[in-house]
Amino acid sequence: MRTQPTRRNVLALIASLIPATAVAEYPDRPIKLVVALAPGGPADTAARLFAPYLSDRLGQSVVIENRTGASSVVGTEAVVRSPPDGYTLLFGSSSSFAVNPAVMKNLRFDVQKDLKLVGLVSYTPHVLVVRASLAAGTLKELIALAKAQPGKLSYASSGAGGAIHLASELFKRETGVDIVHVPYRGGGPAVMGLLTGDVDVFINDASTTAENVRAGKLQGWQWPGRSARRCLPMCRPSPSSAFPAWCRRRGSASLRRGRRRPTSLPGWRRRCRRSLPHRAIRPGWRSSASSSSS
């Protein structure tokens, strides 16, 4: 005789599963780290240096997935739409969680409500670089050349509306030059455009351009500041008083999906943040943005 499941049977089955679920500690499976910007760019570089140490601290694999487009909006929205269980993290830049909400009206998410900040991973100094063949050996000569040929020179950005685009427009306003904007899908492709001569000028994080400056393929000027001098000894310093409104550095941070901290993730932020100042990461930061070896 077949018996139908009763309400008591179902409740008993559910109750029998609770202890096994309750004792499972986070994380019990691999974590996806979504990089909202293109491979080879500063956020991608920082994420790939950071991921092994995050994995070590959490005791689980951390898998990087690049989701690019619309100045990091595509990757950010992918994380927002994921389950808020702590297994999908967003690795973005200041464009992702500061600039985009300020300049884009029709975002389908609210960074303040839909994401929780885990921690700041890195700060990288900015550098202004030009193609090596450009007839400008100093920043003053670059500005003079641009003023003599209005609308002839072009500058790259890692995406329209992003932090680098805004920094470049600020440079134009401060110097009074007329140079044409050419947006790319990330910092890596923008550097390639500079190396091939498709564009003339690029303002970006040091990590994407320092190696080419060292090799003589690009020439560059570092932002004023102690960190820039330490990381970019191969770049000529720009006058600290010339352009006081210039953006000096940009940060990368890790965020996760969720309006509130799940009770099943005790110590999540604490364990994640412990990997942020890990001493072993520091040589990697320096070697990606300076001429000194790690």
Please report the pLDDT score of residue 214 as a whole number.
Answer: 85
- Could you tell me the pLDDT band of residue 280, with boundaries at 50, 70 and 90? low
The verdict on 116 and 131 lying in the same domain is no
Cα gap 250→137, rounded to integer Å: 26
Residue 38 contacts residue 44 (beta carbons within 8 Å) = yes
CATH of the domain at 90: 3.40.190.150
Q: Would you place residue 281 in the very low, low, confident or very high pLDDT band (cuts 50, 70, 90)?
A: low
- Rounded to the nearest 10°, the torsion over CA 73, 257, 276, 223 is 20
Q: List Cβ neighbours of 86 (8 Å cut-off, separation of 6 or more).
A: 26, 27, 31, 256, 257, 258, 262, 265, 268
Residues 51 and 195 in one domain: no
270: number of CA atoms within 13 Å, CB side? 4
Residue closest to 80 by CA, chosen among 260, 259, 257, 254? 257
The CATH number of whichever domain residue 168 belongs to comes to: 3.40.190.10
What range defines the domain where residue 223 resides?
A: 125-249
Give per-residue pLDDT as tens, 102-143. Answer: 888 888 999 888 988 777 777 777 788 999 999 998 888 999
Q: Does any domain span residue 18?
A: no
Question: Residue 277 and residue 282: Cα distance in Å, rounded?
Answer: 8
Tell me whether residue 38 is in a domain: yes
What secondary structure does DSSP assign to 203-217, as a single string? EEEGGGTHHHHHTTS
Backbone phi and psi for residue 91, each to the nearest 5 degrees, phi listed first: -110, 105
Q: Binning pLDDT at 50, 70 and 90, where does residue 273 land?
A: low
Same domain, 218 and 277: no
Q: Do both 232 and 259 map to the same domain?
A: no
Between CA 260 and CA 267, with CA 262 as vertex, the angle to 5 degrees is 110
Same-domain status, 231 and 92: no
Residue 16: inside a domain:
no
Contact 92, 76 (CB under 8 A): yes
Closest residue by Cα to residue 58 from 285, 251, 256: 256
Residue 130 domain-assigned (yes or no): yes
Render 112-130 in DSSP notation, one character per residue. Answer: HHHEEEEEEEEEEEEEEEE
Number of structural domains, the chain?
2
pLDDT score, position 238: 55
Tell me the average pLDDT of the chain. 75
Tell me whether residue 165 is in a domain. yes
Q: 214 and 103 share a domain? A: no
Q: Which helix (H) or strand (E) holds 58?
A: helix 42-58
Q: What is the pLDDT of residues 149-196, one digit of tens each?
A: 999 999 999 888 888 888 899 889 988 999 999 999 888 889 999 999
Same domain, 215 and 146: yes
Least confident piece of the model among 88-102, 156-170, 259-273 = 259-273
CB atoms within 10 A of CB 14: 9
- The pLDDT of residue 240 is 46
